[in-house]
Chains A and B, each alone.
Chain A
Amino acid sequence: MPNPQPKQPVMETRLLANCVVGLGFSRNGFDAALQREPHMIGCDAGTADGGPGYLGSGRDSKSQIAVRRDLDLMIRGARRLAVPLVIGSCGGAGARPQVTAYLETVTRIARELAWHPVVARIDAEQHPAALHRAVADGAVSPLGHQRTLTHDDIDASVRIVGMMGAGPIATAIDAGADIVLAGRCADPAIYAATALLRGHDPAIAWHAGKSIDKGYLATTTPEEGSPVLARLAEGRFTVEPTKLGTVCTTTSIAAMTMYENSDPFQIAQPSGVLDLASAAYHQVDRRTVEVTGSRWRPASTPSVKLEGAKLTGYRAILIAGIRDHRVIERLDTFLHEVKTLLERGVASLGVPRSDWSVQFRCYGRDAVLGPAEFQTDYQPHEIGLVIDVVARTQELAVAVAGRSGPIGSRYNFTGKLGGGGNYAYPFSPSTIAAGPVYEWSAWHVMEVADESAPFATEVIRL
């Protein structure tokens, strides 16, 4: 980790941020941003919000064509200004295959430009042996309401990534990287790394990073896709959007500290806690906000958040509309009886009951809110039934979901079906194989002696 103490009187540092690789941004806004001569260009690529599927499968959460467009523009911009481009949480989950896919895209773009940049790829995947040691040493604790991480959880995981802080990124930039492709990464670290290298107070570096790490979401008109620029000085920073006509307000900037955080005033980062209890936001002009009063409490021991995914099974679904009010009137009874019939049907195939599970998702009733649904005093006229089967193999999931269709549709629940059906199918085939299903196997935090140690960096000249 480079020296985090201010080296000399602090110069202004300009950090340029886009929202998420593959979600696009305004090209005009980006060109205008380059004229302000930022010291780095950054963009996050990840989120855990899409669930564990992208971590488990290693597939990119965004389309290749969209990712390439955004990377192409940012690479050209960074080259023109000769400043580093930092991409965090490549591919969505920051898994090794996702970083590799980004490196391939970057390589193709560089080749087209006949450019030979220095690329640092920072691996966030954690070696199982190191995790087993950390668990044995009692260095891993649950985040939120999860249970303790066990050795079995580690063995059951397809992969576990660690969330890096600014340390590994700053080291890569300091080593001369033109492009940093980081695996799983704390979003503000993308920006804090450059700010810390240039001697800024960690409170300013991290709060500025946190304010811009969602790019255009810091503006009042996200649909305009404006990049945002932070200017850091001693004890304060400003944020402004760069596309003509877009604005940041005190509310839109302060709201960035609420976004996806459980506590809006104490925001934990790998190397400390950003304390915003005394932060003040001031509208400098119509489009620019100044922030002061940020504080930083360094962690006594740095920590790395762990995210792991395990394969739970394979899914097949069947979508059926129910319109008969007599079935909807007694839907729970109907579904209970259908489930019993399905269990009997699948047992006749010689399949053990523990090899599959089924859920009846009743859209139109309580499929969205579940037990929190409060509108329970009326009967919907139509139900969108999603029969959701998860089984040990894809073939078995398709077989069970396929069986569930005729069993439920032909069940003479009203006594007046006359060989007709209860289900209206919108699709043919009605059973859809939905692929592997992953669950979080780790959502924990691991104490480490050195925040950079769990992340191996490879420096390549293309």
Chain B
Amino acid sequence: VTAAENSPDCTLETLASIIKSNNAGAASLTFDIVFPDSHTYDAVRSAGVITPALIARLYRVRAEDIQLFHSDILHAIKITIPRQSPAGGVDERDFDGTQQYVPLLGVKVDLGAPVAGQRGEGS
């Protein structure tokens, strides 16, 4: 029995085994969300919650600037967004970008819902 089957309505924090952020070069920030097994990974993908629209809202970037990748081998979703300002500027808050994943932790994933493209955006 996986976490996904146990809780009909849970957050990425409870579903993922790894959630992290890093710089991908000076101009981009990249997020890796890795799930413990293909069942959980498939369930989260089917829930259709992790979309450019969600990321755009959480990070205040334009949806069309967001890259979203699915790695079936890793049971992982990878998201790359432009940085607000290039890494290491005078106003830098997080040189390595390592704490920027936090807004993703609380994203709600409704696993009970039927597959429906881009419904629900979490909170």
A-side residues, CB < 8 A to B, are: 48-53, 143-146, 250-251, 254-255, 258-265, 279-281, 307, 312-313, 357, 359, 361, 367-372, 374, 390, 437-440, 443
Contact = CB atoms under 8 A, between A and B. Distances in A.
A431 B101 CA distance: 32
Nearest to A373: B103
B90 interface: yes
Contact of B25 (A50, A143, A258, A265): A143
Interface residues of B, dominant DSSP: loop
Contact of B88 (A143, A357, A438): A438
B69 to A, nearest CB: 6
12 contacts: A48-B87, A49-B96, A145-B28, A260-B24, A262-B30, A265-B69, A265-B71, A279-B73, A369-B100, A372-B103, A439-B86, A439-B88
Contacts, number: 122
A305 to B, nearest CB: 9
Nearest to B94: A368
Contacts of B97: 49
B74 A254 contact: yes
Given A368-B99, A371-B60, A53 B24 contact: no
Contact of B28 (A262, A313, A439, A440): A262
Interface residues of B, number: 42
B4 to A, nearest CB: 18
Nearest to B86: A440
Nearest to B91: A359
Contacts of B76: 255, 258, 264
Nearest to B82: A145
Contacts of A367: 93
Residue among A49, A281, A361 having the largest count of chain B Cβ atoms under 10 Å: A49
A50 B93 contact: no
A258 B22 CA distance: 10
Contacts of B25: 48, 143-144, 260, 262, 443
A355 B106 CA distance: 42
Contacts of A265: 69, 71
Contact of A372 (B74, B87, B100): B100
A331 to B, nearest CB: 17
Contact of B74 (A258, A262, A280): A258
B58 interface: yes
Contacts of B87: 48-49, 51, 440
Contact of B96 (A50, A250, A359): A50
B102 to A, nearest CB: 7
Given A48-B26, A258-B78, A440-B86, A374 B69 contact: no
A278 to B, nearest CB: 10
A250 B73 contact: yes
Nearest to B26: A443
Contacts of A440: 26, 86-89
Contact of B27 (A53, A144, A313, A371): A144
A258 B26 CA distance: 16
